[in-house]
């Protein structure tokens, strides 16, 4: 199987957040309703976590699990502002605005 960038058939995310240097970059993104955000764990194997604010309603929760590699995607089907954090580094926070 041959996969070429742009030809793989996998949809491009609406926003990409790089996790590096113990930061979300950028921490705050805006996507349309139905948009997908991709977090990329690219911090030399340092463990991080993308975890939705536990106060949001259950159907909007997202949780990457704690990991140091790969990517995590979540699709946001309802408008709102979603805060998230890294449980390993609680000072790492960001928001996804869906509008």
Site for Cu ion, rule CB under 5 A: 48, 86, 88-89, 92
CA angle 38, 63, 36 (to 5 degrees): 30
For residues 35 and 86, which CB has a smaller minimum distance to Cu ion in the complex?
86
Q: How many CB atoms lie within 10 A of CB 4?
A: 6
Shortest separation between residue 9's beta carbon and Cu ion, angstroms: 31
Shortest separation between residue 27's beta carbon and Cu ion, angstroms: 12
| Whether 58 contacts 78, CB under 8 Å | no
Which residue of the chain is nearest Cu ion when measured via CB?
A: 86
For residues 2 and 91, which CB has a smaller minimum distance to Cu ion in the complex?
91
């Amino acid at each position: 199987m041959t996969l070429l960038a742009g030809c793989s058939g996998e949809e491009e995310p609406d926003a990409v957040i790089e996790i590096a240097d113990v930061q979300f970059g950028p921490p705050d993104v805006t996507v349309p309703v139905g948009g997908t955000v991709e977090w990329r764990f690219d911090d030399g194997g340092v463990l991080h976590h993308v975890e939705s604010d536990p106060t949001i309603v259950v159907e909007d929760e997202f949780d990457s699990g704690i990991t140091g590699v790969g990517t995590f995607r979540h699709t946001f089907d309802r408008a709102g502002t979603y805060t998230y954090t890294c449980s390993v580094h609680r000072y790492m926070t960001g928001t996804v605005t869906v509008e």
